[in-house]
Structures are given as structure tokens and as C-alpha cells.
Amino acid sequence: MAEVTVREALNQALAEELERDQNVFLIGEEVGHYNGAYKVSQGLFERFGDKRVIDTPIAEAGFAGLAIGAAMAGLRPIVEFMTWNFSLVAIDQVLNNAAKMHLMSGGQFNMPIVFRAPQGAGGSLSAQHSSTLESFYAYTPGLIVVSPSTPGDMRGMLKTAVRSNNPVIFLEHEKIYAIKGELDEPENVDYLVPFGKARVVREHENAQITIVCWSLTVHVVMQAANELQVH
């Protein structure tokens, strides 16, 4: 089976969900004509048009709020921030509206919305682009927070996120997009990876330690484990 990059896996997931459900749309800074800041939405604007792949101004609170309203009306928006650092501009929309709408409406409104973006230290990106915010969002009731590490999990979990009726925070490390791996069931457009279940990357019958990690750190830990095994 051919290997694909994380970037390609995410692009496939987006294309499959846009094709499957006419209520799904992608909105954010540079997602259309520019094909995404990290080229995750490559080719989607040409394929699905400007009603399904929507470029926005640099106004995170505005387009996040627009997407929340669309989700309340029955659509399934995927909101791309240029970086998770910039999501803090829309923090009131994410925490006080998206996360709480189902509860505060007494169950009258679902919130099928995905917020996704890169995060973490990249190359020469300075302090305004390098935060990791999973712990911050994980402590917010009402949000599902995921940060996959492999192309297969990226594709499967993004598709699960899009089909969820709850708001999902989908975190992609800036240094993970070029990492390659195989996809599980690449031809199956309904292949999903469930939330809440860890993937055991490596196990040993005499293991005396368990390392729990996510996103880019999975690859760092595996590299260390491989070096220790050699020595």
C-alpha cells in the first residue's frame, strides 16, 4: 500500500466529507484560492466551488461566529484557523457559544462543527505562532479535543469529527504535515477512527513502562525507542 503524507490524508478526508454531505463546508483564512496556509485544502476550491470552500478576512471571531450560526441551522462547518494561536481572537465564540450551545438550549441545538488548525513550534514562526493549546481546550466542558499523529488517524478522526453532532477541536502540529504513513482502507469513504480509544503503537510482553503521548511526540518517542532498541 502506498504511503501518503499527513497533509494528503487530511485533504482526502476533507474531499470525501464534502462529497458525501452537501451540508459540509470549509471556511477560513486562505482555504480557497491559496489552497490553505499549509496546503491541506489543495484543489478543494476548484472542485467544490466558493459556496463550499469559503475564503474569509482575517477576522476569526467573525467567521467562527458565522460558522456556529450555520451549525445551529443544520449545516456542518469545518473552520480552519491559520494557527491555533489565532483561535484566541475567537475564544468567546468557541468557549461560550460552540461549547455550551447544546446545554444552554436545553438540547434544542446540536453543534456539528469542527475547528481545525496547525499548532506547535515550527520553523522561525516566533512566539505568536508556536503555542500548543490542547490542555487549555481539554479543560473546557462541551468540547471534544483530538490531536492525531499518523496519516491514517488524521483521515479517520477528521471524518469522525465532521460527522459528530458536537464541537470538535482538531489539532495538527505544524511539523507533522510531511510525515508519511499508510491509510487504513483508503478506498472506504466511510472509514472512521473512533474518539476515546488510544492506539497502541508498540507493545512488549516484558514492558515495565507505559508512555502516553499524542501528535508529534508520538514520532519523537518512537524514534527514541528505536534508538534504544538498537543500543
Known catalytic membership, residue 60? yes
16, 17, 29, 129: which one is catalytic? 129
8, 16, 17, 60: which one is catalytic? 60
b/e burial code for range 137-164 (CB count within 10 A of at least 16 → b):
beebebbbbbbbbbbbbbbbbbbbbbbb
Taking residue 38's Cβ as centre, other Cβ atoms within 10 Å add up to 22
Known catalytic membership, residue 129? yes
Contacts of 21 (CB under 8 A, 6+ apart): 76, 162
Which of 146, 91, 95 has its CA nearest to residue 119? 146
Q: Residue 222 is inside which H or E element, if any?
A: helix 216-230
Looking at the annotation, which residues are catalytic?
Answer: 60, 129
